[in-house]
Amino acid sequence: MTAHTKLRQNLVINGKIQSHHQDRLAIVYIRQSTLQQVERHGESTRLQYGLAEKAYHLGWSRDRVVIIDDDLGRSGSNAEGRPGFQRLVAEIGLDRVGLILGIEISRLARSCRDWYQLLEVCSLFRTLIADADGIYDPASYNDRLLLGLKGTMSEAELHVLKQRMVEGKKAKARRGELGMQLPRGYIKRPSGEIIKDPDEQVQSTIQLVFELFDQFSTVNAVLKYFVKNKIKMPDRERLGLQKGDLKWNRPNRPTLSNLLHNPIYAGAYVYGRRSTDPRRKKPGRPATGRTVAKPSEWDVLIKNKVPAYITWEQYERNLRQLAANSMYGIGVSREGPSLLSGLLICGRCGLRMSTYYTNNSNKLRYSCSRMAVDYGESLCQSLVGNPLDNLISQQVLEALKPSALDVSLQVAEDLERERKNLLAHWEKQLERARYEAERAYRQYNAAEPENRLVARTLEKRWEETLSAEEKIKQEYAVFLNEQPTTLTSAEREAIRQLASDIPSLWFASTTTAAERQEIVRLLIDRVIVAIEGNTEKVFVEIHWAGGHQTYANLIRPVAKLTQLSYYAQLLNRATELKKARKDFTEIADILNQEGFKPPKRQETFNKGMIHTLLVRTGVSSNKKTRSQQVNRMPNEWTFRELSQRINIPEPTLYRWMQKEILIVRRVKEVSHNGIWLITADEKEIKRLESLKNQPKQWIYHSRVKKVN
Ligand SMILES: [Zn+2]
């Protein structure tokens, strides 16, 4: 009888271990939750492997001890995604397991549900469970109670631990000390200080993203620029042997968009910007289910914590612009008669203004969309499009006059400057590639010839750097090819020639709106408009492609007299004249002579307008007018009343009367000429209102029978 068999018999007699247990497997179940824990707690892992030894001492022969450690490095609060645990349960279910060993065995399962399932299966198949404290038989009532308690305690402990960790993390975050994943453009010093990436090219590339977004206002345009000029995005390796090494990746939309959304570039430390919503989480993908919270919902925001690439104001403006873009699609030139769609920037908030067409594309409006973005806010500003379009086309023609050709020469100079910047970028890239190749060569050269394996690796690395350098050289050649050469004097002359033809081309009936848009786009980067208050005055700032700016004042038509910037002045003067016993016609004439302009597009004031102005403000008493003396039928209106009711100008109503669209009658009882009354009940008013938005030829088809 061997010593082992003797040991076996002793245990069978003394304890819970029976021979039917020993005839089956002893499984040592090893688990740690995260890779970090695996690294740090090597000690605990060694302890767990020591359990195999324990199984042997408990009487299992070595070939019957199995170690399951599939779950190493896998975190999980339930059995999903932990094949080791599932395999364990399966083995028990196949009646092949006599004993399970583990350190703090209740941690086998991280949630009570898994734990009770395990106990159930173990008791069914008479499998024992052993941990540092002892051996338990789940089939026995007392042991089962104890095991259940252990499981509950373990889960409670896990909960407390987690809570403590989360709280600790938050406290650290509030101090701005919680290590965050640093995005491209930043690195952390060994001291823990966060600084801008010391690589000059990295910094200038990040800076370029913000400059371009400022210029183009869309992620797409920035991306296009990067792709067109073959500029790559810098990044540092995050893991592995090359950790910290600089690499250059092809830019893509999400990368650029993340960069613009990330508050760190404005120098801020933020915690709680991205939280995980378990409802959106997909199985097997720990990073999904992330949601991005609004700035007001961030747990922690500390400004000026790290060196910034942009100001906080610029960051906020970028966020608004991005939101506006996603709401209105991308602000590029759209089909339509508008000259400036996609070019217009609101001078009040810095956002791109949208283009709207009302009345079947007849009326163009430019409007700042901020209201729609910052919910609930009222309209930022909005103006009728045509006067602005006219102003800009006038300016463009002015700029294209042969005498004003220095504009285009300025453009050429700026292209040259931009080209120089790009060249510098390419040279840095080439220099880097050359340096890498040289370094690889030096390393290869320095390797001992005897150490062939190392030499071969280094040689391979050297070859790779050489071919990388070659590739950059080729791309550089392509870039040089695509660049325009500087203008010869003959070309300048040709431009001058073309320029003198431009006005006639511009106004030619064969020139489409889209072609005019194209011309404007070539010459103008953006137009910034700011309406002064709610008045007729608009300040216009034109940013030309060359980078220089011109300014203009625009008078826009406004709806009401009261909106006019000189309303107070106008009213004072009119009141003065009224007191001087002038009648309305005389007042109108004087105001016109003195240079006052009415709102909307009327050129001059007339008697009616002065009457409205003075009656409304109470300067002139509103005597009972003729129309009020007439005995009216139900639903009868004067032209003025109806005009105000359905917001259609009186002249239009008179035209409609001539075209027999209105139901009218003449009342002669009050004066020699009599006055006209229009019959319109609610239904008729609706009909007339619907006519308002229809093209003229349609309206004239909708005559009514004349009623006398
Ligand atoms: Zn605005």
Q: Give the C-alpha separation, 478 to 91, whole Å.
A: 64
Assess contact for 115 and 151: CB atoms under 8 A: yes
Q: Tell me how crowded residue 587 is: count the other CB atoms within 10 A of its CB.
A: 25
Q: Pairing state of beta strands 353-358 and 363-368? A: antiparallel
**Radius of gyration over alpha carbons of the chain, in Å?**
41
| Distances in whole angstroms, Cα of residue 435 to Cα of each of 427, 432, 440, 445, 478 | 12, 5, 9, 15, 22
Q: Which residues contact 496 (CB under 8 A, 6 or more apart)?
A: 402, 405
The H-assigned helical ranges of 483-566 are: 489-507, 513-523
Tell how far the Cα of 548 is from the centroid of ligand 1, in angstroms: 23
d(CA 322, CA 340): 20
Whole-number pLDDT of residue 155: 73
Q: Is 682 helix (H, G, I), strand (E, B) or coil?
A: helix
Q: What are the backbone dihedrals phi and psi of residue 113, each rounded to the nearest 5 degrees, phi first?
A: -60, -45
* Tokens 């035209």, residue located: 655
The CA distance from 3 to 23, in Å, is: 18
- What pLDDT does residue 580 have? 83
At residue 285, the pLDDT reads 47
Q: How far is the CA of 212 from the centre of ligand 1 (A)?
A: 20
User: How many whole angstroms from 529 Cα to the centroid of ligand 1?
Assistant: 9
Residue 215's nearest CA partner among 409, 414, 416 is 414
**Both tokens of residue 647?**
């917001």
Superfamily of domain 3-169: Resolvase, N-terminal catalytic domain (3.40.50.1390)
The answer regarding whether domain 194-268+303-325 maps to CATH 3.90.1750.20 reads: yes
480-531: pLDDT as tens digits: 777 665 666 677 677 777 777 777 878 887 777 777 887 888 888 889 999 9
CA 288 to centroid of ligand 1, rounded, Å: 35
Distance CA 259, CA 246 (A): 18
Arithmetic mean of pLDDT over the chain:
77
pLDDT value at residue 309: 94
Active-site annotation, residues: 33
The reported pLDDT for the residue numbered 535 is: 87
Architecture of domain 626-707: Orthogonal Bundle (1.10)
CA–CA separation, 63 and 41 (whole Å): 28
Instruction: Calculate the CA 586 to chain-centre distance.
Output: 59
Q: Which stretches in the chain have pLDDT values below 50?
A: 1, 13, 34-36, 38, 76, 281-288, 328-335, 361, 373-376, 705-708
What is the Å distance from ligand 1's center to 333 Cα?
A: 19
* Residues contacting 226, CB < 8 A, separation 6+: 232, 233, 251, 256
Beta strands, E only, 488-643: 524-531, 537-544, 549-555, 636-637
For residue 532, the CA-to-ligand 1 centroid distance in Å is 13
